[in-house]
Structure 1
Amino acid sequence: MELTVDLLILISSLVFLRLWWRHWSKTGGGPKNLPPGPPGWPLVGNLFQIILQRRPFIFVVRDLRAKYGPIFTLQMGQRTMIIVTDSALIHEALVQRGPTFASRPRDSPIRLVFSMGKCAINSAEYGPLWRALRRNFVSELVSPARIRQCGWIRKWAVQNHMKRLADESFRNNVVHVMRNTRLTVCSILICLCFGARIPEEKILEIESVLKEVMMMTTPKLSDFLPVLGVVLRKQMKEAKELRRKQVRARRGFVERGEKVDGLEMVSPVGAAYMDSLIGLRPGNRGPLGEEEIVTLVSEVISAGTDTSATSIEWALLHVVQDQSIQERMYKEIVDRVGKNGAVNEDDVEEMPYLTAVVKETFRRHPPSHFLLSHAVAAEGAAVELGGYGVPAGVHVEFYTAWVTEDPAMWKEPGEFRPERFLEGGDGADVDLTGTRGVLKMMPFGAGRRICPAWSLGVLHVKLLLARMVHGFRWLPDPTSPPDPTETFAFTVVMKNPLKAVILPR
């Protein structure tokens, strides 16, 4: 009898919890007025419902958008996420009301290890620290004067890139696009940061450590359910060891006078990004420590390498698949510099078709389908977006890939058509920063937290792409045909990296 009563109480409690959670999931707890979303399970919300689907999160988001509309809520364990997918709502939040949505939510313990408690431009909360770090970054790395001053770095790296491609083609008959492009972009960014040229084997070592860091900081189950303390402790131990490895890999660069094997200091003192960090006192605090400098330099190299290299590989996929695109690019380049001339940074800014190919690559293959998580900056009552409440601290996720796929905004959005960005096309008036007119694509974000190095990234993509098409004719590898299937790493990459046959022009 007692067992029957206990069982009845248990069943009744479970039913009550289920009904309560269903009500909470739909209403956001009443006064919060959260956007609608799928009913969840007690304690874990929608977390396991999504995990058990065993498919990329973006496909789940697309289905939920069709059911719940352009803004909806997911309760992922103890993390509340508001997903925003509509161009007008994204523009309102990031551009029109930029300061309100410019902060970052609370980070996971593992991410805090690698950001030194959010002492990084991408992760810092909106305020004095972020402003100081970003201001320094812009003036010391991406200002027009600094870009001109460091033009020789790109010239040196691109020359090595072209020679490496020719050597690899001679040895193997094919070239690995991503591997070579990552190495070149990474070498440019390392030289910009440290003012030094270093051997390729050292670049590969740094690149390997950064890749480990990126994989370590991708979302994990313990981020959503911190109660999994045993799992988190193991991950934290691994993260701290990797962090020590990351610091050791850079230690020789922190003090300019230190001798490092294979290191050739080539920039004058004051021209390297690291020079500006030593002695910098950002916000209301003292000078940066060694690990904080490592964090800021790593941020530049890791973010800039992956996004630029991935974009170049996707562009070359279409260059290889559609020879008419390649020939039109080549003709434009030859008309500008001749068959034997050298393409420089000023030249690529005067090539409208090259620019159109790059923009269409960003539209069709954005580096990421989501922006980094945003959060409401103000404390207290929730702000309103789309008629719903957005409380402070909630993860606001902007699903930007839908904007580039929306048939209401683009003609035949699934097609790769660079011409759409030329005069008369449906993308001719598009602004990559999203500050002018309708927001139709945002490969670098928008508003206050737009990637501060977006113009530098575009320059690297244009310059490398132009030099590669000018120097070689690109053809499919008959043993490994181009495959546009996507997979999801730090950026959206090709599942099977592109290989190509190249012929000297």
Structure 2
Amino acid sequence: MAFTDLLILFFALLFLRFWWRYWSVTGGGPKNLPPGPPGWPIVGNLGQVILQRRHFVFTVRDHLRAKYGPIFTMQMGQRTLVIVTSSDLIHEALVQRGPAFASRPEDSPIRLLFSVGKCAINSAEYGPLWRTLRRNFVTELINPARVKQCSWVRKWALENHMKRLRREASEKGFVEVMSNCRLTICSVLICLCFGAKISEDEIKKIESVLKEVMLITLPKLPDFFPVLTPLFRKQLRQAKALRNKQLECLIPLVRNRKAFVESGGNGGPEMASPVGAAYIDSLFGLDAPGRGKLGEEELVTLCSEAINAGTDTSATTLEWALLHLVLDQEIQEKLYKEIVEHVGKDGLVTESDVEKMSYLGAVVKETFRRHPPGHFLLSHAVTEETKLGGYTIPENASVEFYTSWVAEDPALWDDPGKFRPERFLVGDGVDVDVTGTRAMRMLPFGAGRRICPALTLGTLHVLLSLARMVHAFKWLPVPGAPPSPAETFAFTVVMKDPLKAVILPRV
């Protein structure tokens, strides 16, 4: 080989060495990013995550957090992710320095399609539009007076729920928990949003479409390589078709409600809430900064957001809670006795009753701790380059808060892997602040400025539904098919094998 060939080969190898080193280092260096796993050229850590053949949640939980500590960096294609896992750092970012970490990263074309360009509470950037949408939501849907005014909605939906459980148990010998709870919570939220009682078939259709929307908006390859977006035209066409399907489902409800409001409350029997009592009533005249009056697409997006966010999280929590009651009959019996003490064997559990049931509250809190609705918060973004934990957080980074670990940390909890509701009555859970304002030991609803605005309403739905179901039935495992606590990911972390249970009427 000629000398010039050797020289070319030497410089090529040297170039490749530095090129590899540049692309593979995710932390440290002159940028002072948090440490992280070495990546591959161009794709960073994305290829390694894909080869794990597990959802990203489980890779972080079972491997990366333990290896790289409370804050680490991953280069996922063109996106830099800073992942924060410790209680102290999450509190510093979201509470102590909330405004700096309160925005959202750029969205993919598919998510922008469904959010109508970030016109939604969850996806809007931190600023006037977000403040207006959130303030309106809190004022019009979850203030105490409105919650009390709409108590009939939960009564109606839960009556149908109990009838459906009895019918299904009679026909099959068991009930499927998740599908029934999803349908009931979805029916409540549809009525709260549109003020309408609609048929079970219509509710199922809307629920199915909105679940498809959640799944299609989960992160995909173009999220990490925006440069490749033009290659995914087929997926964008599928998303547009689903968006049209979503609009076809919900625009009739929007128009019916608008006609009802404009007529001063004259409408068909479908319209069950008086003018002003439905969430969408407040949106018809809302002047959104940078948007003006909202169109039908924006109205569909905002109502879909409320229904989606509340349905999946509440139904998932109910399924996990009932799993533990099925597996531990002693806990179930203790809960049943408390319910009977308050309403008797033949009474009806009301919303004011569940507020007084301390053990019921402990069971639900322990479910939130052991099985938080989301293991990660929705992605955050910093408004400008800042510091956290002594490291630099660049302006274009996505900041991911892995909050599930906070509730699993043995430094914060005694025997954290055990389901023990009593810890919230006499133990390490007494006076725990689930909002994370004072200190972070569990964060089922997030924290800081982006905390879930409907946390009180969602908790009420879980408390009331669980109390009604335990009061009416004894929950037992299906003979020969004990339930498994194995997990999988479907927008939230859910049971891999949906819970089936035998229910026996209380006598």
State if a TM-score over 0.5 links the two structures.
yes
Distance 1:20 1:325 in 2: 55
Q: Deviations over 1:102-134 (max 9, x none)?
A: 111111111111111110000001110000000
| Structure 2 Cα separation of the partners of residues 298 and 163 of structure 1 | 27
* Number of matched pairs: 496
Distance (Å, rounded) in 1 between the aligned partners of 2:326 and 2:505: 15
Per mean C-alpha deviation after superposition, the further-off stretch among 184-193 and 224-233 is: 224-233
Unaligned runs of 5+ in 2: 261-266
Please name the residue that 1:421 is paired with: 424
Offset of 1:237 from its aligned partner?
Answer: 1.4
> How do 1:7-156 and structure 2 match up within 5 A?
10-22=12-24, 24-27=25-28, 30=30, 32-62=31-61, 63-156=63-156
Structural mapping, 1:333-372, within 5 Å = 333-372=339-378
Q: Indicate the residue corresponding to 1:446 in structure 2.
A: 447
Read off the aligned partner of 1:400 and give its amino acid letter: T
Contact 2:258 2:281 in 1 (8 A): no
Per-residue CA deviation, residues 276-320 of structure 1 (Å, 9 max, x unaligned), is: 111211224310111111100000011100000000000000111
Q: Is the 8 A contact 1:196 1:264 kept in 2?
A: yes
Alignment counterpart, residue 308 of structure 1, candidates 303, 309, 314:
314
Q: Determine the structure 1 residue equivalent to 2:391.
A: 388
Are residue 264 (structure 1) and residue 263 (structure 2) matched? Answer: no
Amino acid across the alignment from 2:318? I
Q: Distance in 1 between matches of 2:174 and 2:442?
A: 34
Deviation of 1:257 after TM superposition, in Å, equals: 5.4
Q: CA deviation at 1:25?
A: 2.4
Equivalences for residues 191-340 of structure 1 within 5 A: 191-255=191-255, 256=257, 264-340=270-346
CA drift at 1:85: 0.3
Q: Aligned partners of 2:221 and 2:77: how far apart in 1?
A: 9
Q: Contact between 2:380 and 2:398, CA under 8 Å: does it hold in 1?
A: yes
Q: Deviation at 1:432?
A: 1.0
Q: Structure 2 CA distance, aligned partners of 1:153 and 1:214?
A: 25
Q: What TM-score results when the alignment is normalised by the length of structure 1?
A: 0.95
Q: Which amino acid aligns with 1:242?
A: L
The residue aligned with 1:405 is 408
CA contact (8 A) 1:482 1:499 kept: yes
TM value normalised by structure 2: 0.95
Equivalents in 2 of 1:252, 1:395: separation in Å? 37
Matched-pair identity in %: 68
Structure 1 pair 477/263, CA: closer, same or farther in 2 (3 Å)?
A: farther
Conserved in 2, the CA contact under 8 Å of 1:250 and 1:294?
Answer: yes
DSSP-derived class of the 1:343 partner: coil
Paired residue secondary structure (2:227): coil
Counterpart in the other structure of 1:498: 499
Question: CA deviation digits over 1:361-405, x for unaligned, max 9?
Answer: 00001111100011112x3xx211100111223100000111111
CA-CA distance at 1:492 after TM superposition: 0.7
Letter in 2 for 1:386: G
Deviations 1:146-173 (A, max 9, x none): 0000000000001111111111111111
Deviations, residues 317-352 of structure 1 (Å, cap 9, x unaligned): 011111111111111011001111100000000000
SS of equivalent to 2:281:
helix
1:36 partner amino acid: P
Matching residue's letter, 2:445: F
Query: What is the deviation of 1:99?
Result: 1.2
Partner of 1:478: 479
Tell me the amino acid that sits aligned with residue 394 of structure 2: P
Give the whole-Å Cα distance in 2 for the aligned partners of 1:222 and 1:386.
Answer: 30
Q: Deviations over 1:209-256 (max 9, x none)?
A: 111111111111121112324542221111111111111111111122
Shift in alpha-carbon separation, 1:222–1:257, aligned structure 2, 3 A: closer
Residue pairs, 1:447-466, within 5 angstroms: 447-466=448-467
What code does the residue aligned with 1:454 have?
L
Amino acid at match of 1:435: T
C-alpha contact (below 8 Å) 1:252/1:258 kept by paired residues: no
Aligned to 1:264, the other structure's residue is in SS state: coil
Letter of the structure 1 residue corresponding to residue 64 of structure 2: L
Q: Deviations over 1:449-502 (max 9, x none)?
A: 000000000000000000000001111111432110000011111010001111
Q: 1:209 to 1:5 in 2, by over 3 A?
A: farther
Judge conservation of contact 2:349–2:464 (CA < 8 Å) in 1.
Answer: yes
* Structure-2 separation of matches of 1:487 and 1:330: 30
Whole-angstrom distance in 2 between the partners of 1:450 and 1:258: 34
Query: Contact conserved, 1:358 with 1:461, CA < 8 A, in 2?
Result: yes
User: In the alignment, residue 43 of structure 2 is paired with which amino acid?
Assistant: V
SS of the aligned residue for 2:39 comes to coil
Distance in 2 of aligned mates of 1:114 and 1:16:
42
Q: What is the CA–CA distance in structure 1 between the aligned matches of 2:268 and 2:164, rounded to whole Å? A: 19
